Amino acid sequence: MTKIRTLAAAALAVALAAPAFAKEEPVSYSEDVSPILQIRCLACHQPGQEGTEKSGLDLSTYDGLMKGTKHGAMIVPGDPVTSNLMVLIDGKADKSLQMPHGKKKLSSCDRDMIRKWIKQGAKNN
């Protein structure tokens, strides 16, 4: 009986620990990140629009995002904490620079998706 309890306890411990060791699902630029940018950012950040004219940031393509702004990079692959895009959309910049400018903040789900993509290397996938 003690052996059965020990085995049951061990099985339970393994089952509870499994999620901690589960591999994080890969985030796709084209399927996960780009649609967020298209819906929430392209009204201003594409060629000919005010956001791109002022900052130089074109979010209509992966290359435009990775090029960054007149002031520098927006994405540091592997490091969402120092990626300026996250600073802006997380509301950690001066209010005049927070994005989307003058609109409702991106949902925590959308911000987390972008954060995971950057953490995973900000690949063009």
CA angle 101, 56, 90 (to 5 degrees): 35
Sign of the CA dihedral 11, 14, 17, 23?
Answer: negative
- Express each pLDDT in 58-99 by its tens digit: 999 999 999 999 999 999 999 999 999 999 999 999 988 889
DSSP 3-state of 69: strand
Eight-class DSSP state of 23: P
Following DSSP, what letter does each residue of 85-104 receive, concatenated?
HHHHHTT-S-GGG-SSTTSP
13, amino acid identity: A
User: What's the pTM?
Assistant: 0.81
Read off the pLDDT of residues 22-71 as tens digits, 9 standing for 90 and up. 578 999 999 999 999 999 999 999 999 999 999 999 999 999 999 999 99
